[in-house]
Amino acid sequence: MARKERSEDRPVKSSPRKRGSSVPSNRIRLDSRLRRNDERSQKSAKRQSSIRNIAEVDWEDLAGHFGGAYSKFLVHPDTTGAQHVDYRISCYQPRAYVELHAHKIQEQIYHVLEGEGLMQIGAKRQVVRRHDVIYITPGVKHAIYNTGITDLVFIVVTTPPRDE
């Protein structure tokens, strides 16, 4: 994927790692680790306080996300050893989306930073845009779609970080 020129206040997209691409042996894809319950506790990073710049974190191409829907795991058990929170930034290109899904025990908060799209909660779809905050309770089916003409950028906070 070619890097696009953009203003400094927008996230810069590095080439996301695609399923089936070669990944250095010392790096394990986050989406693979998220799917393997038996290895989760062994693969978590050491829990430590940290300061990192968002540019230091790779964009991830996760299962169930389509059309240019990428996320950066900023605070997560696999990146910082966090035990109670998953904090990520997501950037969806126009027409990108995450499939309709629900979480067993996780609560989620979406905070839209840029762009606009549609948030589906149950059977209802509603336009979301900059400064909208969406709260999703456990067990509720939801999806987000970038129906706008620019990138849809949002923060997702999930607790607990694992849906076990």
3-state class (DSSP) for residue 39: helix
Domain boundaries, the chain: 46-159
Condensed to tens digits (0 to 9), the pLDDT of residues 35-86 reads: 433 344 446 788 889 999 999 999 999 999 999 999 999 999 999 999 999 9
Condensed to tens digits (0 to 9), the pLDDT of residues 22-33 reads: 333 333 344 444
CATH code for residues 46-159: 2.60.120.10
8 A C-beta contact, residue 158 and residue 93: no
Please list, in sequence order, all residues whose beta carbon lies within 8 angstroms of the beta carbon of residue 156, skipping any fewer than 6 positions away: 71, 86, 87, 88, 89, 90, 108, 109, 110
